[in-house]
């Protein structure tokens, strides 16, 4: 056995796997979207398993707060682009595979071209707009998607849009979640996440991708697996055999009005805007930079205030919830003078300390 195959000898030795399955891996093209807590273990194990071409799409940079769960990166990587760093490190781990970094923000204009060269897409994103966009693009182009999501102590995994023997398609993300009110759901920065949970769900995603490529085992298609890291219990919920959704076009994401920390601080000196804190009561008790406070699920109750003549700048810990809130308000009242604090409190305190 030559050196290229020697490293894969233990998986080649598996019953019903063999050289045929390994060859399928080496001929496969897989795109991982998101090089964060899920994307790091997914990419590491797909690279180690010998996936022939591995694309990694992420436009973000490494920050110190990522390191507890994004295990591809170290302190020296802070401030560097995730996609490029991830590909460079994975290339060192497995020189025989092809790695392609995409330093782009996935949007309706580029998603079809991005996924086109790939056999399967692994969704490791952390926001709902991109998750729906990837799902819809893959449904339109017939690509399977391996889905994963984590929050605090719980994770989910599934495989969407599989072509079945009769030609029908298995359920996709919109069959499980037709729509989500993202303003009420904190992300990992705001709500926290157990670092090992990212590894567990990421490994499950990599496992499903390998099973799909090698045609081994039963996929999490038509069902979703839910895992609780506190109790170590998991359950698989059946969604159905075939999809009930029909997707024919991509929804364009509207630009969300935002202001930088510097712009907001100057406007506060001029008394030309109001700060609005939409975090939870607990978050407000821990850190308070002032402004009106009500939680994200109370937007409707405060719509009259939010849409009056005075400028409002909404903030949360990372800027993601406030962006979703601004989007929601603008949908209800397009002329509302509402903005999101770009980067949230994280950017606020980094500015103060600089």
Residues 205 and 122: beta-carbon distance below 8 Å: yes
Distances (CA, A) of 134 to 41, 55, 72, 119, 318: 20, 15, 24, 14, 23
Residues 131 and 46: beta-carbon distance below 8 Å: no
* N- to C-terminal Cα separation, the chain: 56
Beta bridge pairs of residue 100? 55
Residue 259 parent element (H or E): strand 258-259
Whole-angstrom Cα distance, residue 75 to residue 188? 20
Per residue in 321-339, is it b (16+ CB within 10 Å) or e — as a string? bbbbbbbbbbeeeeebbbb
Q: Point out the residues that are catalytic.
A: 188, 316
DSSP letter at 295 equals -
- Quote the Cα angle for 106-107-113, to 5°: 75
Residues 274 and 192: beta-carbon distance below 8 Å: no
Whole-angstrom Cα distance, residue 239 to residue 224? 7
Instruction: Tell me the backbone φ, ψ of residue 167, rounded to 5 degrees.
Output: 90, -10
């Amino acid at each position: 056995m030559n050196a290229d195959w020697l490293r894969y000898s233990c998986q080649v030795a598996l019953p019903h796997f063999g050289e045929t399955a390994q060859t399928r891996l080496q001929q496969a093209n897989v795109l991982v979207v998101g090089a964060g807590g899920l994307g790091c273990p997914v990419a590491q194990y797909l690279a180690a398993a010998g996936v022939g071409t591995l694309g990694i799409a992420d436009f973000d940079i490494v920050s110190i707060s990522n390191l507890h769960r994004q295990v591809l990166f170290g302190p020296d990587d802070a401030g560097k682009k995730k996609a490029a760093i991830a590909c460079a490190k994975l290339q060192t781990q497995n020189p025989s595979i092809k790695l392609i970094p995409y330093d782009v923000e996935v949007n309706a204009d580029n998603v079809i071209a991005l996924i086109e060269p790939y056999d399967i897409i692994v969704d490791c994103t952390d926001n709902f707009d991109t998750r729906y966009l990837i799902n819809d693009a893959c449904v339109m182009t017939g690509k399977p998607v391996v889905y994963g999501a984590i929050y605090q102590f719980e994770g989910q995994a599934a495989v969407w849009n599989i072509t079945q023997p009769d030609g029908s398609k298995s359920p996709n993300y919109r069959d499980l979640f037709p729509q989500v009110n993202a303003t009420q759901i904190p992300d990992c920065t705001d709500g926290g996440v157990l670092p090992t949970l990212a590894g567990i769900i990421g490994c499950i995603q990599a496992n499903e991708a390998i099973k799909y490529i090698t045609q081994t085992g039963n996929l999490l298609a038509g069902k979703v697996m839910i895992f609780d890291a506190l109790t170590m219990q998991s359950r698989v919920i059946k969604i159905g055999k075939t999809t009930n959704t029909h997707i024919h076009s991509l929804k364009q994401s509207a630009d969300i009005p935002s202001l930088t920390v510097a712009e907001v601080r100057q406007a506060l000196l001029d008394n030309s805007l109001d700060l609005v804190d939409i975090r939870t009561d607990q978050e407000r008790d821990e850190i308070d930079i002032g402004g009106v406070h009500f939680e994200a699920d109370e937007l409707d109750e405060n719509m009259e205030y939010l849409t009056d003549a005075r400028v409002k700048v909404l903030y949360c810990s990372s800027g993601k919830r406030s962006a979703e809130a601004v989007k929601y308000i603008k949908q209800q009242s397009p002329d509302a003078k509402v903005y999101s604090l770009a980067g949230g409190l994280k950017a606020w305190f980094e500015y103060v300390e600089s």
